[in-house]
Amino acid sequence: GDKVKQSPSALSLQEGTNSALRCNFSIAATTVQWFLQNPRGSLINLFYLVPGTKENGRLKSTFNSKESYSTLHIRDAQLEDSGTYFCAAPYGGLSGKLTFGEGTQVTVIS
């Protein structure tokens, strides 16, 4: 809900271009996870981050805990990158519960 805000809500990308998704937190997030929900509905783990940056192929993610945001960069977008991207952060003391953003729906077009 409001604790994790994602932007934009939807994005259309030309194949081969780059883009960035953003996640803003109103909770004191210590870690962040990024997921891709594919058209079949499966939630695929993309990144699990402590403050800092990780890269995996054409994807790169940064988590800045002091400024309470995380970004996910998609480089050289491909058709298979289409889906809904979610960020999530744990909340509730020592609980492992995650609070999710509302998602960014990404459509890559050829």
Partner 1 sequence: DAGVTQTPRHEVAEKGQTIILKCEPVSGHNDLFWYRQTKIQGLELLSYFRSKSLMEDGGAFKDRFKAEMLNSSFSTLKIQPTEPKDSAVYLCASSPLGGRGYEQYFGPGTRLTVL
Q: Which positions touch partner 1 (CB under 8 A)?
A: 1, 30-31, 33, 35, 40-43, 45, 48, 50, 86, 88, 90, 93-98, 100, 102-103
Q: How many CB atoms lie within 10 A of CB 43?
A: 15
Q: Closer to partner 1 at the Cβ: 32 or 77?
A: 32
Q: Closer to partner 1 at the Cβ: 14 or 107?
A: 107
Distance CA 108, CA 89 (A): 26
Q: How many CB atoms lie within 10 A of CB 92?
A: 10
Q: Closer to partner 1 at the Cβ: 58 or 97?
A: 97
Q: Retrieve residue 100's tokens.
A: 């999710």
